[in-house]
């Protein structure tokens, strides 16, 4: 176990000393800053510590991430989610990566909020394909009041199928967060996207604090948090460290941390962005695992351009969740059969739904209603 101490040297015994191998042990020096061992649950990380993790030799970093992963999760199980766009296009935001922004000519048309029955049918197909969580995404700045009742009914329908539910609908008020909780929503996704320092280069129509406020409303309502970011938008390694630092220093770690590789879409400002080095992406997965040991780290957007070998290294580095089948909102995703073949080659298996979820899914709606704070 590598302890984060300054100064620090760990002796790794390669094999017993012998005349042929007079120096049978290597010394690895990792000048990190805390006395807490890697894998501890912490919310007081410093940027210098996170940057030091990124700077570790690749093999050491992946080894430590795998060790921490095995200490906190079933080692060969991967949580599988399916994501459906329930309302597509015409988003007023200017996120530089997003083909759904009304500001860019990307060929993505406007599609109204789906019918409840169609969403249920998609969720049924996802369950039959092996997904355990169904995520519903809508291109809003924030959801309209007239749509909230419809979305709440979608959540109830999906949950009745025995699937965990997740939604990503943009910014939420505290009241909207409680409304979703009352409908039976399990997870809410709201990514930070990048570091606070680089954020203004990617988005100008909402602030970083807006995002943090939504995360606070979601947590206060008793929902589980899904929050991560995107790698490959032109950010520096320090920006990646700062993003993960922000996530790890939240009062509670997100239960799910999606790490996305930028999917470059013609017509968006980031269409010509330089490709990210695969090893840099894998380092980001590994550091996320070390900073947030109990979270599910999701290998998210961008998998369609990753080789099986790269995905295998991501799983070795601590990724234990994927989006499975269908389209990933408006960009592609590996099909179910390719994922099944990859799982078989690697000896991986889909993670089962937690027992406490199965029990709560059977409870009548009134038994899962969120308790709101008193009105002020």
Active site residues: 91, 95, 98, 135, 166, 226, 298
- State CA 63 to chain mean position distance: 21
**Six-digit token pair at 306?**
């990753």
**Six-digit token pair at 350?**
């889909």
Which distant-in-sequence residues (6+ apart) come within 8 Å of 114 by Cβ? 84, 86, 87, 154
Burial of 274 (0-12, 13-18, 19+ CB in 10 A): exposed
H helix or E strand, kind and range, residue 13: strand 9-13
d(CA 200, CA 234): 12
d(CA 1, CA 68): 9
Q: What number of H helices and E strands is found in the chain? A: 11, 12
Bridge-based pairing of strands 133-138 and 164-168 is: parallel
228 three-state secondary structure? coil
d(CA 274, CA 261): 12
d(CA 263, CA 279): 17
The residues with which 82 forms a beta bridge, in sequence order, are 134
- State CA 227 to chain mean position distance: 6
The residues with which 26 forms a beta bridge, in sequence order, are 12
For 36, half-sphere exposure in the C-beta direction (CA atoms, 13 angstrom radius) is 12
d(CA 21, CA 93): 62
**8 A C-beta contact, residue 250 and residue 43:** yes
């Amino acid at each position: 176990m590598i302890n984060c101490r300054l100064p620090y040297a760990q002796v790794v015994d390669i094999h017993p000393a012998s005349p042929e191998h007079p120096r049978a042990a290597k010394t690895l020096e990792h000048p990190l800053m805390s006395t807490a061992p890697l894998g501890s649950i912490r919310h007081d990380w410093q940027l210098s510590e996170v940057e030091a993790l990124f700077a570790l030799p690749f093999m050491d970093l992946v080894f430590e991430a795998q060790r921490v992963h095995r200490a906190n999760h079933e080692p060969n199980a991967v949580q599988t989610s399916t994501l459906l766009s329930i309302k597509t296009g015409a988003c007023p935001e200017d996120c530089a990566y997003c083909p759904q922004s009304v500001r860019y000519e990307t060929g993505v048309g406007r599609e109204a909020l789906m019918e409840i029955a169609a969403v249920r049918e998609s969720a049924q197909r996802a369950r039959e394909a092996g997904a355990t969580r169904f995520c519903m995404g809508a291109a809003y700045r924030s959801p309209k009041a007239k749509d909230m009742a419809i979305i709440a009914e979608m959540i109830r329908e999906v949950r009745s199928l025995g699937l965990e539910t997740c939604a990503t609908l943009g910014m939420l008020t505290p009241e909207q967060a409680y409304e979703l909780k009352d409908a039976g929503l399990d997870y809410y996704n709201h990514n930070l996207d990048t570091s606070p320092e680089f954020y203004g280069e990617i988005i100008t129509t909402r602030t970083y604090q807006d995002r943090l406020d939504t995360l606070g409303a979601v947590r206060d309502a008793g929902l589980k948090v899904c929050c991560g970011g995107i790698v490959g938008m032109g950010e520096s390694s320090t920006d990646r460290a700062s993003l993960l630092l922000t996530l790890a220093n939240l009062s509670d770690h997100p239960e799910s941390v999606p790490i996305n590789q930028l999917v470059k879409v013609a017509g968006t400002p980031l269409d010509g962005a330089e490709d990210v080095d695969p090893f840099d992406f894998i380092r980001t997965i590994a550091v996320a695992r070390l900073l947030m040991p109990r979270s599910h780290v999701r290998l998210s957007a961008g998998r369609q351009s990753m080789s099986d070998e790269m995905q295998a290294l991501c799983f070795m580095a601590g990724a234990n969740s994927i989006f499975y089948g269908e389209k990933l909102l408006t960009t592609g995703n590996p099909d179910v059969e390719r994922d099944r073949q990859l799982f078989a080659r690697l000896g991986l298996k889909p993670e089962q739904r937690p027992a406490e979820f199965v029990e709560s899914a059977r409870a009548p709606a009134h038994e899962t209603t969120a308790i709101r704070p008193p009105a002020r």
